[in-house]
A and B are shown apart, each in its own frame.
Chain A
Amino acid sequence: MTTQGPEPSGSSTPLLGRISLALEQIVGYQSCGLMSDPKSSGNEWRKLARKVSGKINTAWWLEKLAVPLVISALIASCLILMARRELPQFPWAETMFIGLILLLGMGLMAWWLARRNFETPEQSLVRLEASMKMRNALSAANQGVSPWPTLPPKVDDGTRWRWSRLVTPLLAAALFITASVLLPVTARTDPNAVGRDEPQAWKDLEADIEALAEDSTVQEQYLEELKKRLEELRKQNENEWYSHSSMEATDALQKMHGAELESLKRNLLQAEHALRSLQKNDGKMSEAGRQRMLNKFEEAMQGLQQGTMKPNQRLLDQLKELDPKNLGQFNPEQLNQLRENMKRQAQNCEQGQGQGQGETDDWLDEMLNEGDGTPGEEGDPNREGAGNGGTNRGPGTAPGVLGRISEDLNPGDLKGLESRDLSKSLPGDLLELADGKHEIDKTKIGLREGGGIKGEGRGGDRVWKDSLLPAEKKALKEFFK
């Protein structure tokens, strides 16, 4: 500590005294100019010694505080991070209060530890006289042996603050605490927290359920059951969502749902088709054909009634009330509306299926069923198809068994390309249709002489033709020439 004061003036007046006192209060100067008597000089030295003593003791306190402060800050920052992770709402006010209490406690503990090193003003007086090379004049004066020396303009206690040691622990502690407060940590139990992404299949199923419920395509009972199963899957531990068993269960559920949708759609379409045939060809259709259509309708109705996924109750009731043998008693408009309704429901099913598991190979079945006309009868002029095949099939075109018949594209038309992920294909899936020839072994097979040596060279030929490098082949050819 260095304290500067004005040069001793040697005179003491009330005015100067007041000015000196004011200066001392403003800039903390130790005035020695007005110390005409040894007593006041002694008081000034003692005051100075108390200041030095305070500085030394503060330094001791800060030294003892540094390590606990850093360690506590480190521990506190870890605790804050953990609390922020575990608690949905971090109690900042309480934490600050506890932190202040801890800081206070730590300060008291550091003071208690530093207390044994504390310096008394008398010891600081010795420090001052040693630093200022005063040859123990202050100690002698303090013991009344010699008069107090005049306070010099510049007083040096021989120490200065080591800022690096002072600031480093404080900065470190502040850094730890700030980091623990500012680091982005999401509370584990935060309701607003973004959880783990659930499997896409669940979302698809959920969307299916919502879509089907919105369109009232199927009965609520089925949807409730599906929802229940989906919830059961969701109730698993998040870590188990993508486990093998979970994915397998999801796949089974999805397939089951898809199959149900497919079944409903097929039954609806079949019933609608049968109804349409019966409605349009009423009276023109042979008895066998009529019976077949009735059977189809009946079969579709059974499927609709017995299937797990049933159409909505209203449609089902309408279909139940319908007597396909006496369609004439119904208003054609009503029938058309019913059919349209069935088609729409089937379309809904198809959409749901599409959302759920992507495009399936239903087109193949459709095409096989297309032109399902009565043999010998005309097919639907609006549709392509050749009846149900066979030697006595209808006049329509043959079913496109070699693949989906592409739509006609005119120049300038735009059509989106489909990308099918062949890597996920399963055994039995149709990946590609191509014209090709069988690789036929054209080696003549016939009678051969046994024991001859004609065939000797074939093995060798095969070796040098198939296995050797071109250069080697050339060398062999040259050799055998």
Chain B
Amino acid sequence: MEHASETEVTDAGTHVRSLLNALNQVLFGQEELIELVITGVLSRGHILLEGLPGLGKTELVKGLSRALLLDTKRVQFTPDLLPGDITGNPVLQEFDGKRQFVFQPGPVFTNIVLADEINRASPKTQSALLEAMQERRVTVLGETHSLPDPFFVLATQNPIELEGTYPLPEAQLDRFLFKLEVTRNDVRTLERIVNHRELGSEPEVQTVMDADTLDGVLALTRRIFLPEVVANYIARLVDGTHPGQSNSGKNIKYGASPRAALSLAASARARALMNERPHASFEDVKFVAPSVLRHRIILEYNARVEGLTSNDVIADLLEEIPFQGGATPKTLQSTASA
């Protein structure tokens, strides 16, 4: 596969920058979140957004769909939601006097699915998304239906009011490229929101690229060069999440999977494209690592008792694992910060 050239990357970067600007007009004060969401989209990954209600998660997804001119459907997950409500149901219809089952596509048949409060649905319903997320197709009554391309699932979950919820199983969590934490806005951002928004009205979003352009950018993202040393860094990072493989690993009960390594590589490529670079770098990996790894590791009981979070452990891990594989002798003193 031919690697992306600087010219191609620069062209694509222009579109991506436009998308970034468009979304920044939708959601104020969440530049990093928007950057990561676009990174996830360019990586063709699914994103789990975790945050309190009213922080603009749904608005972000809507804005993304409008900016990309993609079809979007929103599913509000509730305990009584059934798998068929997502994937679609066969409906008995009469054609020429004959009755036959006709597949009625569910809301999953769209480009962007907004799975709102995904942890409120039953595990059975949650698992209905598994095949769709991974295989990008749905099988109903033995018949497989491909999902439109591109296909993204942007799920949200509320970290409070956990009573009556069903935490997502590890297998399903692993299928999300990123788990992003939507934080509250500061005073200046709130002031900006108050000045520029009105309750009940949706912001105007300009379409920045069509489907073909998006396809081209997505294809180009895959052609971004990943140097061997960066791949080595990713491998060492993922390996370090396992107990006994690093100092930080002692706080981790179960480490990240190879899928996490692939996710890191894909998102590093996407970020390199966003920065109009034809190759990924250590810094790209470091930037996306918390979002990729935080939902893929399970902390030790003792670490949780000590008040450590996944973010803390990953931060320690990133500090611990050096960019270059070779150690520095003790007769030399390191002057550069990783």
Contact = CB atoms under 8 A, between A and B. Distances in A.
Interface of A: 55-56, 59-60, 62-63, 66, 117, 119, 123, 126-127, 130-133, 135-137, 139-140, 143, 145-146, 156, 158-162, 165-166
A59 B327 CA distance: 11
5 contacts: A63-B330, A123-B326, A136-B229, A136-B281, A160-B333
B228 to A, nearest CB: 7
A379 B227 CA distance: 133
A158 B335 contact: yes
A221 B258 CA distance: 108
A31 B281 CA distance: 27
Interface in B294-338: 322-336, 338
Complex A-B, nearest 8 residue pairs according to Cβ-Cβ distance, in ascending order: A158-B336, A135-B281, A140-B279, A130-B323, A131-B336, A139-B227, A136-B281, A59-B329
B278 A146 contact: yes
Interface string B171-193: 00000000000000000000000
B109 interface: no
A146 B6 contact: yes
A340 B229 CA distance: 115
B329 A135 contact: no
A55 B328 CA distance: 11
A60 B6 CA distance: 39
B324 A140 contact: no
A143 B332 contact: no
B330 A143 contact: no
Nearest to B224: A145
Contacts of B332: 55-56, 59, 159-162
A118 to B, nearest CB: 9
B336 A136 contact: no
> What band does the interface of chain B fall in when counting residues whose beta carbon is under 8 Å from A?
20 to 34
A112 to B, nearest CB: 16
Most chain A beta-carbon contacts within 10 A, residue among B6, B332, B336: B332
Interface of B: 3, 6, 225, 227-230, 275, 277-284, 322-336, 338
Given A117-B326, A158-B335, 13 more contacts: A56-B332, A130-B336, A131-B336, A136-B229, A136-B280, A136-B281, A140-B225, A146-B225, A156-B335, A159-B332, A160-B333, A162-B333, A165-B331
A308 B49 CA distance: 124
A133 B282 CA distance: 9
Given A119-B326, A126-B323, A161-B332, A139 B278 contact: no
A41 to B, nearest CB: 16
B279 A145 contact: yes
A162 B331 contact: yes
Contact of B330 (A126, A131, A145, A165): A165
Most A CB within 10 A of own CB, among B283, B323, B331: B331
Contacts of B282: 130, 135-136
A56 B335 contact: no
B227 A140 contact: yes
B171 to A, nearest CB: 33
Contacts of A55: 332
A136 B279 contact: yes
Nearest to A123: B326
Given A136-B281, A145-B3, A159 B230 contact: no
Most buried by A among B279, B325, B329: B329
A56 B329 contact: yes
A136 B275 CA distance: 13
Contact of A156 (B6, B323, B336): B336
Contacts of A66: 331
Contacts of A158: 334-336
Contacts of A162: 330-333
A305 B32 CA distance: 128
A117 to B, nearest CB: 7
A418 to B, nearest CB: 76
Contacts of A145: 3, 225, 227, 278-279
Contacts of B281: 135-137
Contacts of B279: 135-137, 139-140, 145-146
Contacts of A132: 336
A160 B279 CA distance: 29
B191 to A, nearest CB: 35
A150 to B, nearest CB: 15
Given A119-B326, A123-B325, A146-B279, A161 B227 contact: no
Given A119-B326, A130-B324, A63 B331 contact: yes
Contact of B328 (A137, A146, A159, A165): A159
B267 to A, nearest CB: 15
A136 B329 contact: no
B326 A127 contact: yes
B278 A56 contact: no
Contacts of B327: 117
Contacts of B336: 130-132, 156, 158-159
Contacts of B227: 136, 139-140, 143, 145
Given A130-B282, A136-B279, A146-B6, A62 B229 contact: no
Most A CB contacts (10 A, CB to CB) among B280, B324, B325 go to B324
Contacts of A137: 279, 281
A62 B230 contact: no
B329 A63 contact: yes
A140 B3 CA distance: 11
Contacts of A131: 335-336
B11 to A, nearest CB: 16
Nearest to B336: A158
Nearest to A135: B281
Contacts of B331: 59-60, 62-63, 66, 161-162, 165-166
B274 to A, nearest CB: 13
A139 B326 contact: no
B337 to A, nearest CB: 9
A160 B326 CA distance: 16
A56 B332 CA distance: 8
Given A130-B323, A135-B281, A160 B335 contact: yes
A156 to B, nearest CB: 7
A53 B303 CA distance: 40
Nearest to A130: B323
Contacts of B278: 140, 145-146
Contacts of A123: 324-326
Contacts of A127: 324, 326
Contacts of A56: 326, 328-329, 332
Contacts of B328: 56, 59, 159
B175 to A, nearest CB: 29
Contacts of B330: 63, 162, 165
A139 B330 CA distance: 26
Contacts of A146: 6, 225, 278-279
A133 B283 contact: yes
A461 B333 CA distance: 97
B283 A135 contact: yes
A170 to B, nearest CB: 11
A126 B229 contact: yes
Contacts of A140: 225, 227, 278-279
Contact of B335 (A130, A133, A159, A165): A159
A119 B329 CA distance: 11
Contacts of A139: 227-230, 279
A63 B328 CA distance: 11
